[in-house]
Structures are given as structure tokens and as C-alpha cells.
DNA sequence: GAGCACTGC
């Protein structure tokens, strides 16, 4: 048996290694809490192996990141004086270094799911260690739940060890003990960190000038070492670099930007020791993924961009938010790795103290479709009843399940369909799995592999690159450039790293194709236009609800109306410049403090409206009964109704096959398409606001999707009208609970009645001053907040005519605003007591915090 | 004036 080389230094965790081993002999599970510097990653797995707890099988160590899996494996192998791939090995995507004698295997969290699909009993594994569990990635959460289930049902001998730096270990221990014969053991260790002196500088003014002030202070007070600055994004980094350039040069500091889009060589520059003192301007990469030695001081801007997923629209969001206290502590700790340090926070102490303790774990934020498909494949028919470590929000579960049904991956009984099984064979999001299956069925597997690779990895073009042509799809142009890169090494206009990674993923997908679809000669025999059309149809199957219709340009951008409701803009990098109908493939809803919510489409694909009808008819006509039900659900779903309205504009029911035509006709007869569209959207808004209210107001009435659907059914059958619904106070009640008064609901309808009896969907165009718009958005959840400019409230109304056509009208509701501002102000004062709220918004400056 | 960080046979 391998033993530690004598030169290995002692670490704090060594004090408790015997306790850990003893505990695991008694109990099947253990939780180890040890702060950074304790040495848990390098010592604990090895100690378990040396104690023989693995029973001759493997010890599997889960890491959140590939780099960590590789590096720690190398360090542990080195501590044994062995090469990698002997006793100690690692395995990450595209790369593996293990041998026949390997007993300690470091893998990424994402690989565990793949291993479980290959061998549901994990027969080669004796111990699983989940490292850095406090980061709470969805793969880690899901991994823990699946391992617990496996241990209880089929592998009582399997040992589960959870290691965490800052997490409250009690919750994990309770989860692992719940209903078990043996309690889960809990062991804590000291860490090894140097003290960091933290100061709060308060923050008014902009980030970049705040950084300069803090830097000047550090230099003034005798800075000795490097400075690490945390900023939310590349844009802020560039701005701060500009602002600090002169001072830094004067103080002998060299500036290094550090963020994810930089090529590895430039990232290395920021991390490596340097002859001059460094000023490193970094995003969150430096919080967990990259460690930098020699940092004497941290300047923390207190902000980060947080990615999430909006279950109500199915659109990914990117929101600038305040970091949690745990995250702030982690950032400060970066100054105390090798010596005592300082941390200057660009926000006030009271601001810090009021922040949430932890960043919400991924399971509360992200799209669950992939995780849910895995669960179904592991035999969990009802994910809502699954023993999650922490259950995801009900709305997200419903959205994920809905998407899986719609993609045809899961049937109504929660069983994985044949199509779903085929999708599971690929390491891709279910949408992209469907894209590949559809590409195979339509005879273009090669093109589909390329498109799926591009859509699953980060963009291959620099941010801000402008469209170079007018084409049918961004992925098609990207694929042509990837081909140039592959054939001739031509990197022009591309980001070399991401482009090569996309090629690597594409090749992996090509290898994963079923044997009988690997022959690409037939595909290559097709005319180019035919091939591309087939790919675009496959994309429609993968993104069925992301249909969009072009509208007039807004501020130089192509305006889009989304089938699911709401407006979007086509990014300037997209090549889809003229197509009237398209798919929004890569979408992002941004919300920044100083401007309203914006939906930006970065990657699009032109489609023919007839395909929409074809797709619907396919679902209705050609599939079995389960599919028929799914299609019916699709048509009946509130979101679909607007989509149906758009469809009805372009076609008549006469062109449809009988069943589809009948369904459409019945629905159209029930209320008329314009009513459909209006009421469905209003209901969706109601649910969104209700969810928002429920999150902020204890005991608020909640309108669940079931209730909303029931109401919708009543509307469709003519038993009630939207006006009655509103009169019944459900809608007003909810808003009143937040706003504390009547009248406000009239500021937030998604629809209004116009003179002449026309209905209009309302989209508030955010304008200056933006601060009020962003505050109001908090009230109305998903709806765009109104804004005030010089006393005028400009509103952009998308009028939906009975034929489904939308027209855009800008109007001015200044008088309306004047009548209601006092109520709004009262509510704002209650909600944001630390700010002073002007009597008259027309003359007001942005609110300043009260001293 | 428009792109946080990760990850998968």
C-alpha cells in the first residue's frame, strides 16, 4: 500500500484524519467541515484509501471543476511519490489519466451522472467523496441525492463523504441521517488562514472611481504586495483599467485583467508571479476557480452578474446583483492565503449586514430540464416527490417537466420515451439532444452535431463582433468558419480557444452517434440549401416555443415579438437581418440597476411559418395517443395561445389536416383569437406577479398554474370574462398586498382597453430616470416597469388586432401617472425606507440613502 | 451600448 512521502508537511486536517476513519467504520456517511487551507482535498481521500474503507474498490472524489480534478490528483500522486495514473488518477471530459491500479479517482461532478447511467449500482466504487459541496452546483446536489438513494436501496456498503468549506454541515448531516439506521458523522477541522482586516468604505458613485479611491488609500498606507479587485464583468474591468491606468503606473503597479473570455495565456499572466507589483482586475473567476498567491489586499466592488433561468418565460437571465455575505468573506479570504492582508469593500457595513447569508444554490436558479431527464431515467416518475437535498421551486419543476414533455423526452406518466432514451446518449441539454435526434431523422446528423456543439459551448466570436452578412442562421455561418479553422487553421474573426473547443465537442458528438447514422456521405450528397433547411427544421423541434416574429427596429436593433409574450431585440452580432420569422436560440434577459429588463437574442435562425403548422400537425396526426395528449396540452397551454394567434395571422384553418383544424377552430370560436391572446397573457402575468408576491409577502394568496389554467378554461368556455375576473378582486388583491393601496394595479396591466374598444398589450419602454423604473420592476415581477422622463410616461403599446397582427403605438400617459404617483410613492417609501422619495418625480434626482 | 462562472463518452 502506498504511503505518504516523508517530506510532506503536516496540515491542520491531519489532526482529525483518525476520527474521520473511525467515524466511517461506524457510519455509512460523514460530513467534514474544514475551512480553506486545512488540506482536506489532498489528505482525506487518501486517508480513506489507506484505511481500506474502499473495500478494494475505488475511492471516487467529485470536484466541481476540471482544473481542480486534474491539479489535486497530481498533488496527491506527487505526495505518494508516484506518477499520475498509478494509484491516483483523474478523469474529466476529453481527458483521462487512470491505470489498472488506480484506486483514487478524481472526477468532475458532471461525470457522476454519466457513470451512473453506465452502471446504476456503481459496482466498482466503495467510497464517494463530494468535495467543495458548499458551492452547491446542481450536479453536486443531484449527485448527493442519487448516491443517498443508491446507498439505501442497493448499496448499503457504499460510503458517502461530503466535504465543505463554509457550508452549515448540520443540514447535510441531517439529510444523510434522515430515516437511516446510523447517524451521519460530523467532523470539523481548523483551517489555516491569515487574518484579513476588513474595512467598509461605503459606496456612492461609480465602481471604477471607487476602485481608484480605494487603491490610492492602499498605496498611501504603505501597500506591500499585489492587489486583487473584484468587478462584475469585462466591461467594468475595461472601464476600471482606464480609470486607474495613470495612478497605477505612478505607483509602480502593472494592471492585469482576468476574466473567462481571455485566452489562457493572458489569464496565466495575471496569476503568475511578476517582477512588478500587480493590480489584478477580475470577475468572479478569482473567487473560486483561480487562486493567486501573493495578494496583499482585496478591493471588493460587492457585485456580480448572476445567471438564472426564468421559469415563467423559459428565458435565461443575467442579473447584476449584490453578492452574499459568504461570497464577500470568500473574496476577503483571497488576501489571507499566504500572509495577513487587507480587504476594502466599496459598500457600507449596513449594506453588507443586510445581504443574504449565502448565494442561492443553483437548484433554485437554473433550468432543470437536464437534471429532470436524468431523474426520470433513474426511475423517478414524480420529481416533485423526490428526496432532494433541497427541493427546487415548484414553478421551475413544472417548467422543466413541461419542456421535457414538449421535446417528447418524457410521457405523461413520467416515463422516459424512446426518443428520450436516444437523447440521453448525448452529453447535451435535452433541447440539444432533441436537435441531434431530429438531425439524424432528417438525414443531417453531421450538421446537427456541429450546431449542437456551437449551442452548448460559449460563443466562438468576441463579444461585440458585428454581423458580417445576411444569412439564415448564426450557427450556419459559425459552422462555415469552424470548417475553415479545421481545414486551414484559419482563425480570423474567431476566438481561438472557444472555436477549438466547439470543434472538439462536435467530434465527440459525431463519435457518439449511433453506428447506422455515422455515414455522412448521404448527407454530403444533399444540396447545401436542402441540408440547411433540414437543420433549421431540426432546430425548430429543439426550440419549439422560441418562435419570434420581426417587428420594427428599436434604437437601431431589430425588434422581435416572442411567441411566449414580450418583446426582444436581435443582437448586432446576429446575421439573421431580414427574415420575418425566426427562432431565438440564444436569448438572455438582462437586468441592470440603471436600466430596465431587456431581452437580447444573440443567436437566431430563420424559419418558414409553414413549418410551424407542419410541426403542430405532426404532433397531432402522426404520433400515438400520448403524443396527441401532449400536443393538446401544448395547444391549450396559456403560452401557446399567443403563438396560435400569430399562426392564425398567416394561415387559415382550412389548410390544416382535419384534427388540427378542428382543434384550432374550436379554440378560435370559443373566444376569437385576439381574446385568447389577451387573456392568456394576462393570466400568465397574474401567475408571475403572484409568485413574486408570495416570495415577498407572508401569507399572500398564491395563484398556482392549476388555478390559472382553471380560470383560463372558464374564460375559453365563456363562463367568465377577464373583466369579471379582475372585478372579483383576485388581481387587485395581490398587488394591493404589495403596494398597500388600491389603484396601483392599473399601472401594471399587461393589457388595457383603448377608446374604440381595442385591446392593447402594454410594454413599458424604460427611459430616464431609470432608477424609478428598476424599483417599480420589483413590484411587478416580470412586467417591465414604467418610467418617467420630464413628467411624461412614454408607453409603447403593441396593439393586437383581431387578425393577430401587432402594431406598435407610442403614447403618453402623463396625466395617468400624475394621478397615481402619490400612491406609488407611499408604497415605495414603505418598501425602501432607507431612501428618500421625491414629492414630484418630474423634478427629482435619483434617491440617496438616508443618513 | 449591450457576454458572470462552470460542466457532460
The last residue of one of the domains, among A168, A188, A208, is A188
pLDDT above 50: residue A68? yes
Model pLDDT, residue A551: 74
Confidence of residue A591 (pLDDT cuts 50, 70, 90): low
Residue A137 and residue A264 share a domain: no
Residue A179 and residue A65 share a domain: yes
Model pLDDT, residue A807: 37
Is residue A835 in a domain? yes
In strand B, the nucleotides that come within 7 Å of a protein beta carbon are 1-9
pLDDT above 90: residue A112? yes
Residue A580 and residue A704 share a domain: no
Is residue A486 in a domain? yes
Nearest nucleotide by C1' from A92 CA?
B8
Nearest nucleotide by C1' from A112 CA?
B8
- Taking the C-alpha atoms of residue A365 and residue A355, their distance in angstroms, rounded to an integer, is 18
Respond yes or no on whether the N-terminal peptide bond of residue A26 is cis (omega within 30° of 0). Answer: no
- Taking the C-alpha atoms of residue A671 and residue A693, their distance in angstroms, rounded to an integer, is 30
- Taking the C-alpha atoms of residue A562 and residue A646, their distance in angstroms, rounded to an integer, is 10
Percent of chain A with pLDDT strictly greater than 90: 44
Query: Can you spell out the DSSP letters for A312-373?
Result: TTTEEEEEEEEPPHHHHHHHHHTTSSSS-EEEEESS-HHHHHTS-SSPPPGGGTS--HHHHH
Residue A177 and residue A89 share a domain: yes
Is residue A390 in a domain? no
Residues 685-714, chain A: which have Cβ under 7 A from strand B?
none
**What is the per-residue pLDDT across A765-819, written as a single tens digit (0 to 9) for each?**
333 233 333 333 333 322 233 332 233 333 333 333 333 333 333 333 344 445 4
Query: What is the CATH classification number for the domain harbouring A316?
Result: 3.40.50.300
Percent of chain A with pLDDT strictly greater than 70: 69
Residues 807-846, chain A: which have Cβ under 7 A from strand B?
none
Residue A587 and residue A480 share a domain: yes
* pLDDT, averaged across chain A: 76
Residue A342 and residue A245 share a domain: yes
- Taking the C-alpha atoms of residue A435 and residue A452, their distance in angstroms, rounded to an integer, is 7
Model pLDDT, residue A302: 93
Is residue A404 in a domain? no
Nearest nucleotide by C1' from A138 CA?
B7
Model pLDDT, residue A824: 55
Is residue A726 in a domain? yes
Residue A627 and residue A603 share a domain: no
pLDDT above 80: residue A257? yes
Asked whether residue A602, judged by its CB, lies under 7 Å from any atom of the DNA or RNA strand B, the reply is yes
pLDDT above 80: residue A124? yes
The CA–C1' separation of A428 and B7, in angstroms, is 10
**B3 C1': nearest CA residue:** A463
Asked whether residue A206, judged by its CB, lies under 7 Å from any atom of the DNA or RNA strand B, the reply is no
β-strand A88-92 against A95-97: which pairing, if any?
antiparallel
Nearest nucleotide by C1' from A588 CA?
B3
- Across residues A495-517, what is the average pLDDT? 92
Give the range with max mean pLDDT: A488-502, A527-541, A640-654: A527-541
pLDDT above 70: residue A15? yes
Domain boundaries, position A794: 673-843
The last residue of one of the domains, among A337, A360, A383, is A360
Match 403542430 to its residue by C-alpha cell: A616
Asked whether residue A232, judged by its CB, lies under 7 Å from any atom of the DNA or RNA strand B, the reply is yes
Asked whether residue A571, judged by its CB, lies under 7 Å from any atom of the DNA or RNA strand B, the reply is yes
Lowest mean pLDDT among A215-219, A471-475, A786-790, A812-816: A786-790
Model pLDDT, residue A267: 84
Question: Do the Cβ atoms of A236 and A207 come closer than 8 Å?
Answer: yes
Nearest nucleotide by C1' from A425 CA?
B9
Is residue A455 in a domain? yes
Nearest nucleotide by C1' from A308 CA?
B4
Of the two residues A289 and A798, the one the predictor is more confident about is A289
Nearest nucleotide by C1' from A373 CA?
B8
Residue A449 and residue A353 share a domain: no
Q: Which three cell numbers stand for residue A530?
A: 436542402
The CA–C1' separation of A244 and B2, in angstroms, is 23
pLDDT above 50: residue A628? no
Asked whether residue A108, judged by its CB, lies under 7 Å from any atom of the DNA or RNA strand B, the reply is yes
Match 433541447 to its residue by C-alpha cell: A431
Residue A571 and residue A456 share a domain: yes
- Taking the C-alpha atoms of residue A160 and residue A150, their distance in angstroms, rounded to an integer, is 11
Is residue A374 in a domain? no
**What is the per-residue pLDDT across A555-574, written as a single tens digit (0 to 9) for each?**
778 888 776 556 788 998 99
- Across residues A257-280, what is the average pLDDT? 87
Question: Do the Cβ atoms of A795 and A810 come closer than 8 Å?
Answer: yes
The CA–C1' separation of A129 and B5, in angstroms, is 23
Of the two residues A266 and A742, the one the predictor is more confident about is A266
Model pLDDT, residue A549: 77
Residue A624 and residue A738 share a domain: no
Nearest nucleotide by C1' from A428 CA?
B8
The CA–C1' separation of A59 and B6, in angstroms, is 24
**What is the per-residue pLDDT across A592-626, written as a single tens digit (0 to 9) for each?**
654 445 788 999 999 986 677 566 555 544 444 44
Of the two residues A776 and A274, the one the predictor is more confident about is A274
Asked whether residue A420, judged by its CB, lies under 7 Å from any atom of the DNA or RNA strand B, the reply is no
Model pLDDT, residue A804: 33
Number of domains in chain A: 5
Of the two residues A703 and A451, the one the predictor is more confident about is A451
- Taking the C-alpha atoms of residue A651 and residue A615, their distance in angstroms, rounded to an integer, is 14
Question: Do the Cβ atoms of A296 and A339 come closer than 8 Å?
Answer: yes
Lowest mean pLDDT among A298-312, A407-421, A808-822: A808-822
Confidence of residue A416 (pLDDT cuts 50, 70, 90): very high
- Across residues A388-411, what is the average pLDDT? 87
The last residue of one of the domains, among A169, A188, A207, is A188
Question: What is the dihedral angle through the alpha carbons of A679, A685, A687, A693, rounded to the nearest 10 degrees?
Answer: -140
Asked whether residue A504, judged by its CB, lies under 7 Å from any atom of the DNA or RNA strand B, the reply is no
A807 to A129, A346, A765: CA distances (angstroms): 58, 46, 15
Asked whether residue A589, judged by its CB, lies under 7 Å from any atom of the DNA or RNA strand B, the reply is no
Q: What is the CB neighbour count within 10 angstroms for residue A527?
A: 8
Of the two residues A168 and A95, the one the predictor is more confident about is A95
Q: Give the closest residue to A37 by CA, choosing from A296, A334, A367.
A: A334
A740 to A254, A735, A779, A817: CA distances (angstroms): 53, 8, 11, 17
Q: Give the closest residue to A21 by CA, choosing from A102, A112, A124, A127.
A: A127
SS3 A538: helix
Model pLDDT, residue A250: 92
Of the two residues A372 and A639, the one the predictor is more confident about is A372
pLDDT above 60: residue A217? yes
- Taking the C-alpha atoms of residue A285 and residue A301, their distance in angstroms, rounded to an integer, is 14
Asked whether residue A317, judged by its CB, lies under 7 Å from any atom of the DNA or RNA strand B, the reply is no
Is residue A289 in a domain? yes
Residue A710 and residue A577 share a domain: no
Residue A518 and residue A497 share a domain: yes
Confidence of residue A312 (pLDDT cuts 50, 70, 90): low
Nearest nucleotide by C1' from A557 CA?
B2
Amino acid at each position: 500500500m502506498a504511503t505518504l512521502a516523508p517530506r510532506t508537511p503536516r496540515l491542520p486536517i491531519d489532526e482529525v484524519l483518525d476520527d474521520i476513519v473511525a467515524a466511517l467504520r461506524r457510519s455509512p456517511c460523514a460530513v467534514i467541515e474544514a475551512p480553506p487551507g486545512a488540506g482536506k482535498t489532498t489528505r482525506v481521500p487518501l486517508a480513506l484509501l489507506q484505511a481500506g474503507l474502499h473495500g478494494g474498490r475505488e475511492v471516487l472524489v467529485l470536484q466541481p471543476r476540471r482544473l481542480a480534478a486534474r491539479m489535486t490528483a497530481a498533488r496527491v500522486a506527487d505526495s505518494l511519490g508516484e506518477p499520475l495514473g498509478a494509484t491516483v488518477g483523474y478523469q474529466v471530459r476529453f481527458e483521462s489519466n487512470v491505470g489498472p491500479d488506480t484506486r483514487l479517482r478524481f472526477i468532475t461532478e458532471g461525470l457522476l451522472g454519466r457513470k451512473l447511467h453506465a452502471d446504476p449500482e456503481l459496482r466498482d466504487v466503495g467510497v464517494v467523496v463530494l468535495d467543495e459541496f458548499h458551492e452547491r452546483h446542481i450536479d453536486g446536489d443531484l449527485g448527493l441525492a442519487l448516491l443517498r438513494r443508491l446507498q439505501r436501496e442497493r448499496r448499503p456498503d457504499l460510503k458517502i463523504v461530503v466535504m465543505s468549506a463554509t457550508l452549515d454541515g448540520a443540514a447535510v448531516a441531517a439529510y444523510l441521517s434522515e430515516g437511516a439506521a446510523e447517524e451521519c458523522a460530523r467532523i470539523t477541522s481548523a483551517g489555516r488562514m491569515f487574518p484579513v482586516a476588513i474595512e467598509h468604505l461605503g459606496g456612492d458613485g461609480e465602481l471604477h472611481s471607487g476602485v481608484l479611491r480605494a487603491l490610492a488609500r492602499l498605496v498611501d498606507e504603505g501597500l506591500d504586495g499585489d492587489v486583487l479587485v473584484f468587478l462584475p464583468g469585462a466591461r467594468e474591468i475595461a472601464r476600471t483599467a482606464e480609470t486607474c491606468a495613470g495612478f497605477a503606473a505612478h505607483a509602480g503597479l502593472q494592471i492585469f485583467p482576468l476574466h473567462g473570455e481571455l485566452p489562457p495565456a493572458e489569464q496565466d499572466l495575471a496569476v503568475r508571479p511578476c517582477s512588478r507589483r500587480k493590480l489584478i482586475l477580475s470577475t468572479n473567476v478569482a473567487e473560486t476557480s483561480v487562486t493567486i498567491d501573493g495578494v496583499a489586499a482585496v478591493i471588493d466592488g460587492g457585485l456580480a452578474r448572476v445567471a438564472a433561468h426564468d421559469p415563467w418565460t423559459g428565458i435565461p437571465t443575467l442579473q447584476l446583483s449584490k453578492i452574499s455575505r459568504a461570497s464577500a468573506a470568500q473574496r476577503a479570504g483571497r488576501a489571507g492565503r499566504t500572509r495577513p492582508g487587507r480587504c476594502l469593500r466599496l459598500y457600507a457595513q449596513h449594506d453588507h449586514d443586510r445581504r443574504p447569508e449565502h448565494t442561492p444554490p443553483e437548484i433554485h436558479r437554473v433550468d432543470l430540464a437536464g437534471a429532470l431527464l436524468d431523474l426520470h431515467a433513474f426511475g423517478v416518475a414524480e420529481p416533485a416527490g423526490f428526496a432532494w437535498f433541497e427541493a427546487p421551486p415548484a414553478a421551475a419543476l413544472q417548467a422543466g417537466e413541461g419542456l421535457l414533455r414538449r421535446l417528447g423526452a418524457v410521457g405523461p406518466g413520467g416515463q422516459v420515451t424512446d426518443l428520450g432514451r436516444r437523447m440521453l446518449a448525448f452529453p447535451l441539454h435535452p433541447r440539444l439532444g432533441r436537435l441531434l435526434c431530429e438531425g439524424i431523422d432528417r438525414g443531417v446528423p453531421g450538421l446537427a452535431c456541429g450546431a449542437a456543439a456551437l449551442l452548448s459551448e460559449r460563443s466562438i466570436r468576441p463579444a461585440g463582433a458585428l454581423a458580417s452578412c445576411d444569412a439564415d442562421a448564426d450557427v450556419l455561418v459559425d459552422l462555415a468558419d469552424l470548417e475553415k479553422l479545421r481545414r486551414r487553421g484559419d482563425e480570423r474573426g474567431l476566438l481561438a480557444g472557444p472555436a477549438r473547443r466547439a470543434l472538439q465537442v462536435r467530434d465527440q458528438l459525431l463519435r457518439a452517434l449511433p453506428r447506422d447514422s455515422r455515414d455522412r456521405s448521404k448527407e454530403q450528397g444533399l444540396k447545401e440549401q436542402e441540408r440547411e433547411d433540414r437543420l433549421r427544421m431540426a432546430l425548430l423541434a429543439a426550440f419549439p416555443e422560441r418562435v419570434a416574429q420581426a417587428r420594427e427596429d428599436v434604437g437601431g436593433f431589430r425588434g422581435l415579438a416572442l411567441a411566449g409574450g414580450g418583446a426582444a431585440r436581435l443582437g448586432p452580432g446576429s446575421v439573421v437581418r431580414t427574415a420575418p420569422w425566426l427562432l431565438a436560440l440564444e436569448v438572455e434577459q438582462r437586468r441592470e440597476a440603471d436600466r430596465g429588463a431587456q431581452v437580447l437574442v444573440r443567436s437566431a435562425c430563420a424559419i418558414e411559418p409553414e413549418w410551424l403548422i407542419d410541426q403542430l400537425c405532426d404532433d397531432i396526426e402522426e404520433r400515438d395517443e400520448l403524443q396527441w395528449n401532449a400536443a393538446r396540452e401544448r395547444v391549450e397551454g396559456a403560452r401557446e395561445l399567443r403563438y396560435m394567434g400569430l399562426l392564425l395571422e398567416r394561415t387559415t384553418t382550412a389548410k390544416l389536416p382535419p384534427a388540427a383544424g378542428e382543434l384550432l377552430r374550436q379554440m378560435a370560436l370559443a373566444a376569437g383569437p385576439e381574446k385568447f391572446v389577451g387573456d392568456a397573457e394576462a393570466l400568465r402575468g397574474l401567475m408571475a406577479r403572484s409568485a413574486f408576491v408570495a416570495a415577498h409577502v407572508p401569507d399572500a394568496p398564491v395563484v398556482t398554474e392549476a388555478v390559472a389554467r382553471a380560470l383560463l378554461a372558464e374564460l375559453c368556455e365563456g363562463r367568465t370574462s377577464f373583466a369579471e375576473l379582475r372585478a372579483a378582486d383576485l388581481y387587485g388583491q395581490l398587488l394591493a398586498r404589495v403596494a398597500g393601496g388600491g389603484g396601483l394595479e392599473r399601472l401594471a396591466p399587461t393589457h388595457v382597453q383603448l377608446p374604440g374598444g381595442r385591446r392593447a398589450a402594454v410594454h413599458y419602454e424604460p427611459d430616464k430616470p431609470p432608477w424609478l423604473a428598476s424599483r417599480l420592476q420589483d413590484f411587478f415581477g416580470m412586467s417591465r416597469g414604467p418610467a418617467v422622463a420630464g413628467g411624461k410616461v412614454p408607453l409603447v403599446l403593441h396593439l393586437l388586432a383581431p387578425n393577430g397582427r401587432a402594431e406598435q403605438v407610442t403614447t403618453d400617459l402623463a396625466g395617468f401617472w400624475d394621478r397615481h404617483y402619490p400612491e406609488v410613492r407611499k408604497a415605495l417609501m414603505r418598501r425602501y425606507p432607507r431612501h428618500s422619495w421625491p414629492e414630484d418625480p418630474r423634478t427629482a434626482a435619483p434617491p440617496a440613502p438616508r443618513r
